[in-house]
Amino acid sequence: MTSAPGEFDGESYQARLEELVKAGVDVHGEARFVMAYAPESVLDAGCGTGRVALELARLGVYVIGVDRDRSMLAVARRLRDELSEELPAVRIHFVESDLAELDTGGTFDVVLMAGNVPLFTPKGTEAALVAGAARHVRRGGVLVGGFQLDGGYSLETYDLHCAAVGLELAERFASWKRQPFDGGNYAVSVHRRP
């Protein structure tokens, strides 16, 4: 449950991202954060143009990226094809789906919701989003979600939604750089499936 299909322009979004990279902005904080869990597999839920998914695949992780927006996925697939020319063994797939309805047929070491994914979900459907993501977390695996807290979806509600699908809060940070959570307006939460 990310943006509605056609809501974004993937090429424009990617062009802005590439300008940030040219300006020296580090755009791989989420990928570094995820790699601390030494995953063999990651589901990038709400992957957009594939920024995080592609970096994880470049690092040797098997990745499935999922998003509802066709324009964003078209860019992600183009970038994947370019990466595959450079690294033929790269293992990454992109799927168009609503996260609440997603069924990949498998589970993952890490399910990642970066980029304010819950805030792009229609109000009242956040529990279905979390349930859809959580059903892909393997035993001992983690759901990692990072989002702004001033967007109408509280940490307390998110924690309740995670608990309802069998996930336990393991860690919480104020940023992808693992700064301690201080009650600010952004949080990165790590929930584990026992």
Provide CB contacts within 8 A for 8, sequence distance 6+: 48, 69, 71, 72
DSSP β-ladder status, 137-148 and 186-192: antiparallel
User: ∠ CA 124-194-30 to the nearest 5 degrees?
Assistant: 65
% of the chain with per-residue pLDDT over 70: 94
In a domain, 5, yes or no: no
Mean of the pLDDT values across residues 10-18? 72
| Residue-level pLDDT at 16 | 80
Question: Which among 118, 129, 64, 128 is positioned nearest to 95, based on CA atoms?
Answer: 64
pLDDT digits (tens, 9 = 90+) for 75-97: 999 999 999 999 998 999 999 99
Instruction: pLDDT band for 1, please (50, 70, 90 cuts).
Output: very low
> What integer pLDDT is reported at residue 19 of this predicted model?
78
| Strand duo 62-67 + 41-45: pairing | parallel
Q: What rounded mean pLDDT belongs to the chain?
A: 91
Residue 20: its pLDDT value, please?
Answer: 65
User: Residue type at 157?
Assistant: T
Could you tell me the pLDDT band of residue 23, with boundaries at 50, 70 and 90?
confident
Relative to beta strand 108-113, strand 41-45 is: parallel
| pLDDT for residue 177 | 96
Any idea what the CATH number is for the domain that residue 48 is in? Answer: 3.40.50.150
Is residue 4 one of the residues assigned to a domain? Answer: no
What does the alpha-carbon distance between residue 94 and residue 38 come to, in Å, rounded to a whole number?
Answer: 21
- The β-bridge partners of 41 are 62
Tell me if 108 is assigned to some domain: yes
Q: Which domain holds residue 23?
A: 10-192
Of the pLDDT bands very low, low, confident and very high (cuts 50, 70, 90), residue 5 is: very low
Domain-embedded: residue 32: yes
Binning pLDDT at 50, 70 and 90, where does residue 21 land? low
The per-residue pLDDT for 10 is: 67
**Confidence at residue 41, expressed as pLDDT on a 0 to 100 scale:** 98
User: Is residue 175 one of the residues assigned to a domain?
Assistant: yes
In a domain, 156, yes or no: yes
Q: Specify if 125 maps to a domain.
A: yes
> Does residue 171 belong to any structural domain of this protein?
yes
Rounded-to-integer distance, Cα 27 and Cα 110, Å: 19
Least confident segment among 32-46, 77-91, 128-142: 77-91
Q: Count the Cβ atoms, other than its own, within 10 Å of residue 26.
A: 10
Q: Cα separations (Å) of 130 from 7, 27, 65, 140, 166?
A: 21, 25, 16, 17, 11
At 22 the pLDDT is 78
The predicted pLDDT at position 113 comes to: 97
- 118 with 129: CB under 8 angstroms? yes
**pLDDT over threshold 80, residue 127:** yes
Tokens 């940023």 belong to: 175
- The number of distinct structural domains making up the chain is 1
The span from the CA of 134 to the CA of 107, in Å, is: 9
DSSP string, 126-158: HHHHHHHHHTTEEEEEEEEEEEESSSS--HHHH
pLDDT (0 to 100) of residue 28: 85
Can you tell me the distance from the alpha carbon of 47 to that of 57, in angstroms, rounded to the nearest whole number?
A: 13
